[in-house]
Amino acid sequence: MSVRFLRWGMDFATGYKHPPEGSTKALPKRFAMDEDKWLTRFIFLESVAGVPGMVGGALRHLRSLRKMKRDNGWIETLLEEAHNERMHLLTFLKLAEPGWFMRLMVIGAQGVFYNGFFLAYLISPRICHRFVGYLEEEAVITYTRALQDLESGKLPKWESLASPDIAIKYWKMPENQRSMRDLLLYVRADEAKHREVNHTLGNLIQEEDPNPYAVNCIRSPASYPTKGLENIKPVGWERNDVV
């Protein structure tokens, strides 16, 4: 329910509406998504998506200091996630400049979400990671639909648009894979990985289990989670598989 509410808020802020699955009825023209509307949606999405990793990382950092014990590798992964989401935002800001209304919406959404997530993480980190896993699924859906619009010819301005230099350097994009389509594929892959990581962390005992993404494991990559995209599991890895 909470993910649906956030999805509704993001749809409202970005003027987005998607027809129900299987529906053939066309939406009103005001909901038609062009390049600018998609970028507005991406910017709003990434400004919120960068919050959970920073909150979780900060709280686990403070807990480690307070209890004077190691954190079992969770902090680094959570902060890496926050940094990755921020790089998504910085990339899209090279393609669009949000207006004052969008900036106000971001400030309001960030203020509410940061403080709400902070309190929720204090109460139940496991539920928070599960929540983020479902939130990342919504992000995957968003980028998938944008790719579908691009590939069907609905976004002609993007067909010849190259990725910004910041994206090329961050993802080390090959010369023949620097189009807008390639950029969306890279970002979607990141979101899919965040989905897996958070569902996996949600399956673990928060104060005891090591972070499997920070462990040098001798097991086969096919039977153990990695930082890469070799074997993504949308629903995450079960605790018995990684501990």
The CATH number of residue 140's host domain is: 1.20.1260.140
- Asked if residue 133 belongs to a domain, the reply is yes
- Asked if residue 80 belongs to a domain, the reply is yes
- Asked if residue 20 belongs to a domain, the reply is no
Cross-strand bridge partners of residue 162 = 179
Please report, as a single letter, which amino acid is at residue 174.
P
Digit-coded pLDDT (tens) for 187-201: 999 999 999 999 999
- Asked if residue 73 belongs to a domain, the reply is yes
DSSP string of the chain, one letter each residue: -HHHHHHHHHHHHHT---PPTT--PPPPGGG---HHHHHHHHHHHHHHHTHHHHHHHHHHHHHHHHHTS--TTHHHHHHHHHHHHHHHHHHHHTT----HHHHHHHHHHHHHHHHHHHHHHHH-HHHHHHHHHHHHHHHHHHHHHHHHHHHTTS-GGGTTPBPPHHHHHHHT--TTS-BHHHHHHHHHHHHHHHHHHHHHHHTS-TTTS--GGGS---S-GGGS--SSSTT--TT---HHHH-
- Asked if residue 68 belongs to a domain, the reply is yes
Q: Give the per-residue pLDDT at 217.
A: 59
Domain encompassing residue 70:
33-211+224-241
Mean pLDDT score of the chain:
88
- Asked if residue 5 belongs to a domain, the reply is no
| Count of structural domains within the chain | 1
- Asked if residue 65 belongs to a domain, the reply is yes
- Mean pLDDT on 146-170: 95
- Asked if residue 134 belongs to a domain, the reply is yes
Annotated binding site for Fe cation: 46, 85, 88, 136, 191, 194
Please report, as a single letter, which amino acid is at residue 177.
Q
- Mean pLDDT on 62-86: 95
- Mean pLDDT on 82-111: 92
Annotated binding site: 46, 85, 88, 136, 191, 194
Digit-coded pLDDT (tens) for 176-233: 999 999 999 999 999 999 999 999 999 999 999 999 998 765 566 667 888 888 788 8
Q: Give the per-residue pLDDT at 31.
A: 61
Cross-strand bridge partners of residue 179 = 162
Res. 51: pLDDT tops 80: yes
Q: Give the per-residue pLDDT at 23.
A: 47
Res. 144: pLDDT tops 80: yes
- Mean pLDDT on 75-89: 97
